[in-house]
Structure formats: structure tokens, C-alpha cells
């Protein structure tokens, strides 16, 4: 009997033990990946040289300024929304108070007109049957109660209006401060962009710096291949299997990661002497700067990567990976599971690009393949 009890207990607890062991194993894998990626990033940064370090410094300043400007914009939008809600609340209260005033004025005028007439109890006696008197007394008591409630409602609404007006004044003051901060952050962002463009102009007019940049880009393209090879293609989580659809089966029907147009094609050279692109460059449409996952998968890299700027790599399983680079902000981190069309980043100008761009790659077993063959045909 005792044996059967322990056997049943083991059957109940075994899945929990296995789940805990599996979770610990996955956490260990993620920790190990972070260590390996950190080492690879150090190796990359050691080879950056003065020009690469200048680029990174400017990118860090640009990302920080963009982040602060975005936060300031969001704060102003929230404050604007709150102010609009308070204004609507104020308008609703004023309308309600106006209706109560009109109602109370009508009641006062009616009472005044009745003042020179005989008492209400006499009206009841002369105008009504005796059987109706209790009913009229009930109506009279209800009228008195309603007038009393009207006065209470009026008093409460006036207090609420005063409170709303006070909140409005506070919110207006807060909004003014937030708008001032937003202006400062926008200036900081403009300065960061201007300094980045200055570096671009310097490189453009200095043949030695241009060659140095092109050599760095060639080395970093090899470093990216090394990174992708080192990552392998093993999804670390299985609890999202129900949400995951094989990317290979969706070939040719996948959405593009950005609303925009292709400005540099697969295997093209952005400039003479530059390495051929292993992906495409997309320019975002106005107001369409969000970068989205083209298929479900897991984030295997999310950090700065030399001339690619802020870069993210998503593993889709079955040997398929996608690369998203030159972002101004990343919204996912290593180990995160992403669903199809999840927002990954904001397209930006980190790395060696002058304007807001998204560099996008599709890799199959480590080999770059033309994204046009995987994503829906663009108009």
C-alpha cells in the first residue's frame, strides 16, 4: 500500500521536478550565451580603433538623447490626455450645475407664486376627495425630499467643480514644465544627430578615414558571420511551441519588418570599396519607424555591434535567423520569445548610416539569402 502511495506521489511531482530542471537548464544556457556574447563584444571593441570608438561614443549619446526625447514626448502626451479629461469633467460638472440651478429656480418661482394662495391643506380639502389627502401628503413629502436632495447635489457638484479647477491649474503647470523639458530633450537629440553627421562629413572628406571605416565594416561583416555561427540555431524555450509556426513554411508570404521602401538591395554595394550587403536597407515611411518581427522566434542578440549600431538577432528555429540593425532603440533582450509582428525596435541611425535606416538580413544555416524571396512582394 505504501509503495503505491509513493508511486502515485512520484507521478504527481515528477513533471514539476522535470519542469524546474528544464527551466534551470535554460537559464544556464542564457547565462552562458551572455558570457560568450560579452567576450565576443570585447574582442570586437578592442579592434574598433579610434574611429570606431568615436562612432560608439556618438551612438551612445544619440541613443540616450533619443530615449530621453521619447520619454519626454510620452510624458507630454499623457499630461495632455489628463488635461483633456479634466476639461471634459469640468464641462460636464458645469452643465450639471446649470441644470440644477434652472431646476431650483423653477421650484423657487413656483413656491413664490403659491405664497399668496390659501394653504396647501385647504386646496386639498376643497379640490380633492378626502380619500386623496394621504396621497397628496405623500407627494408633498417627496417634493420636499427632492428639493433637499437637489441642494445636496448642487453643493457636492460645486465642491467637485472647485476640486477639478484646482487639478486643472496643477495639470496646466505640470504640462508647461513637461513641454519645456521636451524642448530641451529635442535640442539634445538634434545636437547628438548633428555631431554624428559631423563625423560622417569628416570621414567623407578624409580618404584615410574612409578607408579605415571600410576596412572596419569588412571586419565587422566577418565578425557578424562568426557571431551567427557561434549562436547556432537552437530555440531555448519550448513553452511557446503553440504560438510558433515554422518560418520556412511561410516563405514568400512573410511581412516586411518595416513600413518603408528598399533603398539598397541584396548584394549591392552602398558605395565603392564597401562590402556587398548580405541583406537589404530599408528607409522608413513617415511615422512608420517601428521594426517588427517577421516571424515568431527568440532573441539571441540585442546590443551595439560596431558599424551595425544597435542590432538584434532573432532565431526562428530550423536554421533560420533574421538580423535587424541601425536601430535607435531596442525593446527586447537576450532570451525573450517574440511573436510574429511584435515590436522589436525603432529604426534609427546608429552605426555607419547617415539617415534613419533598417538593415535587414535573413540567414539560412548561416548563409545570407535574399529577403525578397521570403517577404511579400513590395508594391
pLDDT for 17-28, tens place per residue? 544 455 566 556
Looking at the DSSP bridge assignments, the partners of residue 283 are 261
Q: Is residue 345 part of a domain?
A: yes
pLDDT at 121 (0 to 100):
45
With a pLDDT cut of 90, the percent of the chain lying above it is 23
Please indicate whether residue 181 or residue 327 has the higher confidence score (pLDDT).
327
pLDDT at 19 (0 to 100):
45
Mean pLDDT of 262-272: 88
154 and 258 within one domain: no
The residue from 169, 200, 231 where one domain ends is 200
87 and 134 within one domain: yes
Mean pLDDT of 201-228: 79
pLDDT for 192-211, tens place per residue? 888 888 887 888 778 888 78
Provide CB contacts within 8 A for 374, sequence distance 6+: 247, 251, 252, 254, 294, 362
pLDDT at 174 over 70: yes
pLDDT at 290 over 90: yes
221 and 194 within one domain: no
Q: Is residue 253 part of a domain?
A: yes
pLDDT for 91-124, tens place per residue? 888 888 888 778 777 766 666 555 554 444 445 4
Q: Is residue 61 part of a domain?
A: no
Please indicate whether residue 5 or residue 260 has the higher confidence score (pLDDT).
260
Q: Is the dihedral of CA 63, 67, 70, 76 positive or negative?
A: negative
Classify residue 349 by burial, with Cβ atoms within 10 Å: 0-12, 13-18, 19+: buried
Q: Is residue 51 part of a domain?
A: no
Assigned C-alpha cell, 333: 533582450
Mean pLDDT of 283-312: 89
**Sequential DSSP letters for 112-141:** HHHTTSPPHHHHHHHHS-GGGHHHHHHHHH
pLDDT at 11 over 90: no
Q: Is residue 260 part of a domain?
A: yes
* DSSP assignment letter at 343: E
256 and 187 within one domain: no
317 and 217 within one domain: yes
Provide CB contacts within 8 A for 2, sequence distance 6+: none
229 and 142 within one domain: no
The residue from 168, 200, 232 where one domain ends is 200
299 and 253 within one domain: yes
Instruction: Please measure the distance between the N-terminal and C-terminal CA atoms of the chain and give it in whole angstroms.
Output: 72
pLDDT at 78 (0 to 100):
87
Cα–Cα distance measured from residue 363 to residue 354, given in angstroms and rounded to the nearest whole number:
25
Domain extent at residue 227: 213-240+247-379
Assigned C-alpha cell, 265: 538591395
| Helical residues (DSSP H) of the chain, grouped into ranges | 2-46, 49-114, 120-127, 133-204, 207-231
Q: Is residue 288 part of a domain?
A: yes
365 and 304 within one domain: yes
The pLDDT confidence band at residue 156, using thresholds 50, 70 and 90, is: confident
- Rounded mean pLDDT of the chain? 78
360 and 253 within one domain: yes
The residue from 200, 226, 261 where one domain ends is 200
* Radius of gyration of the chain measured on its C-alpha atoms: 35
Q: Is residue 347 part of a domain?
A: yes
Q: In the chain, how many domains are there?
A: 2
pLDDT at 378 (0 to 100):
63
154 and 128 within one domain: yes
Please indicate whether residue 35 or residue 245 has the higher confidence score (pLDDT).
245
The pLDDT confidence band at residue 238, using thresholds 50, 70 and 90, is: very low
274 and 167 within one domain: no
236 and 181 within one domain: no
pLDDT at 57 (0 to 100):
85
Q: Is residue 172 part of a domain?
A: yes
Cα distances (Å, whole numbers) of residue 42 to 215, 326, 350:
18, 20, 19
pLDDT for 65-86, tens place per residue? 888 888 888 888 888 888 888 8
| CATH number of the domain within which 368 lies | 2.70.70.10
pLDDT for 49-62, tens place per residue? 778 888 888 888 88
pLDDT at 125 (0 to 100):
44
With a pLDDT cut of 70, the percent of the chain lying above it is 71
Amino acid at each position: 500500500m505504501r509503495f503505491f502511495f509513493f508511486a502515485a506521489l512520484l507521478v504527481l511531482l515528477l513533471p514539476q521536478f522535470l519542469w524546474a530542471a528544464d527551466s534551470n537548464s535554460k537559464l544556464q544556457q542564457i547565462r552562458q550565451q551572455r558570457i560568450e556574447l560579452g567576450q565576443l563584444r570585447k574582442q570586437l571593441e578592442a579592434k574598433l580603433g579610434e574611429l570606431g570608438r568615436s562612432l560608439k561614443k556618438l551612438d551612445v549619446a544619440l541613443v540616450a538623447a533619443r530615449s530621453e526625447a521619447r520619454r519626454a514626448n510620452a510624458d507630454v502626451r499623457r499630461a495632455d490626455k489628463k488635461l483633456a479629461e479634466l476639461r471634459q469633467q469640468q464641462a460636464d460638472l458645469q452643465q450639471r450645475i446649470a441644470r440644477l440651478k434652472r431646476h431650483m429656480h423653477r421650484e423657487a418661482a413656483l413656491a413664490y407664486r403659491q405664497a399668496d394662495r390659501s394653504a396647501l391643506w385647504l386646496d386639498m380639502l376643497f379640490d380633492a376627495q378626502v380619500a386623496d389627502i394621504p396621497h397628496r401628503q405623500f407627494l408633498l413629502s417627496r417634493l420636499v425630499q427632492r428639493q433637499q436632495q437637489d441642494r445636496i447635489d448642487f453643493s457636492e457638484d460645486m465642491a467637485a467643480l472647485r476640486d477639478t479647477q484646482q487639478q486643472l491649474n496643477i495639470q496646466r503647470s505640470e504640462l508647461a514644465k513637461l513641454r519645456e523639458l521636451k524642448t530641451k530633450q529635442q535640442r539634445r537629440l538634434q545636437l547628438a544627430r548633428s555631431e554624428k553627421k559631423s563625423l560622417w562629413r569628416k570621414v567623407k572628406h578624409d580618404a584615410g578615414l574612409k578607408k579605415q571605416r571600410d576596412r572596419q565594416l569588412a571586419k565587422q561583416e566577418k565578425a557578424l558571420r562568426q557571431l551567427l555561427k557561434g549562436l547556432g540555431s537552437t530555440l531555448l524555450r519550448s513553452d511557446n511551441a503553440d504560438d510558433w509556426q515554422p518560418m520556412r513554411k511561410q516563405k514568400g508570404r512573410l511581412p516586411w519588418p518595416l513600413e518603408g521602401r528598399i533603398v539598397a538591395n541584396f548584394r549591392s554595394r552602398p558605395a565603392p570599396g564597401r562590402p556587398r550587403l548580405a541583406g537589404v536597407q530599408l528607409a522608413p515611411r513617415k511615422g512608420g519607424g517601428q521594426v517588427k518581427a517577421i516571424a515568431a522566434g527568440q532573441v539571441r542578440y540585442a546590443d551595439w555591434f560596431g558599424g551595425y549600431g544597435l542590432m538584434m538577432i532573432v532565431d526562428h528555429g530550423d536554421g533560420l535567423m533574421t538580423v535587424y540593425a541601425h536601430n535607435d532603440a531596442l525593446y527586447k533582450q537576450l532570451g525573450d520569445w517574440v511573436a510574429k509582428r511584435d515590436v522589436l525596435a525603432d529604426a534609427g541611425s546608429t552605426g555607419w548610416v547617415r539617415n534613419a535606416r533598417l538593415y535587414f538580413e535573413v540567414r539560412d544555416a548561416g548563409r545570407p539569402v535574399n529577403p525578397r524571396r521570403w517577404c511579400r512582394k513590395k508594391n
